[in-house]
Structure 1
Amino acid sequence: MVILHTCLNVSDVDQSIEWYTENLDFEESWGFETPDGETVNRYVADDNGVELQLSDTEGQTPSEEGELWDHLAVKVDDVDAAFEEIDDHGVIKEPGDQPAAGARTAFVRDPDGHAIELIEPLED
């Protein structure tokens, strides 16, 4: 497994993109919106290609520790197989295709309740 990104909930995605690119020399890499258009996800990457997902949901301003950090994304070869094998401590979302993100994903909780996203890229 490979860590792909960490998702941070932000109140203003444009401001966050500007901060990470100007202050930490990250490069904006890509982005997508949820089908309902309520959440904008944009990514910045460091020189090694490690990404931060900056997630801005309309009407939500993260202000507490539990709202600021969202999830850790891990690349797997087969989401369905990994989902079945992992000793999760709570299923958040069962495997499903996310065409806007170009991936099949599932979400589980680790022993301390952190959200872990399992990602398998969809075939082109």
Structure 2
Amino acid sequence: MAEAGIAPVEPGVADAAALGFRLGFFKLVVRDLPTMVRFYIETFGFQERDRVALPGLEEVMLALPGDRFTLVLYHHTDGRDITVGNGHGPVGFTTADLDGAMARAFAHGATPMSGPFDLRGLRLAFIRDPEGHEIELIQPPVPVASKE
């Protein structure tokens, strides 16, 4: 039986779990590729995995050490104007030290949006990267040590 709001799978169509989907990458379109590569590497510790240059575009693939997920910075080389819109939410990062993460991001060109504030045991803040993309920083609660 299908869950409410989810259409049943047509006969002969593979189940999503059987297809092995994994979230692999997220792209941000940027105006100044070198500046944005430097920001994400110096602020969050990303490492450059690869670069692709094709007619009209250049991409830089970044990943955090030990992480499969890739942040792709995508740059149109034809000079077209890029406007950061409201068609997507923020890129989210978890951190063990929200205040330290904010200070580091601001030192590398980020600007504040809101927070920090507490929500359901989490500490949250919203900032913008140097080109205005929203970033959400989340500090999970510190686990309470067991008294055994």
| TM, length-normalised to structure 1 | 0.48
* Bigger share in strand: 1
| TM, length-normalised to structure 2 | 0.41
Larger radius of gyration: 2
Structure with more contact order per residue of length (Cα contacts < 8 Å, sep ≥ 6):
1
